[in-house]
């Protein structure tokens, strides 16, 4: 088996073994949709800020990317600690 098939089989196994109740599935779905909206908005802001930089030469934007990732992690951890 290649890695992708093995990972997919394991994912299905975990989903069967640790299935969420209906209420939790709905809550997770809503939270993921909310986070998706936040991430898209953040990405759009970064894209708007970077547009003038593309014409002046690329800068290191790792700090902007790291800010988005750290914000996402703190949001997810905050959600699961409730």
Name the region of 60 (left: φ>0; alpha: ψ -120 to 50; beta: rest): beta
The span from the CA of 19 to the CA of 56, in Å, is: 51
pLDDT of residue 11: 92
Please answer whether residues 69 and 28 qualify as being in contact, where contact means their C-beta atoms are separated by less than 8 angstroms: no
Splitting the chain (82 residues) into consecutive groups of 10 residues, what average pLDDT does each group show? Answer: 91 92 94 94 87 58 57 61 52
How far apart are the two ends of the chain, measured CA to CA in Å?
Answer: 39
DSSP-H helix ranges across 1-82: 3-17, 22-56, 62-80
pLDDT of residue 7: 94
The span from the CA of 26 to the CA of 32, in Å, is: 10
pLDDT of residue 32: 94
Please state the domain extents for the chain: 3-80
User: Is pTM beyond 0.85 here?
Assistant: no
């Amino acid at each position: 088996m290649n890695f992708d098939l093995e990972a997919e089989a394991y994912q299905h196994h975990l989903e069967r073994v640790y299935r969420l109740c209906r209420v939790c599935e709905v809550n997770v779905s809503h939270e993921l949709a909310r986070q998706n909206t936040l991430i898209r908005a953040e990405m759009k802001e970064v894209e708007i800020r970077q547009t003038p930089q593309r014409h002046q030469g690329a800068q290191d934007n790792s700090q902007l990317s790291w800010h988005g990732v750290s914000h996402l992690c703190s949001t997810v951890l905050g959600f699961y600690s409730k």
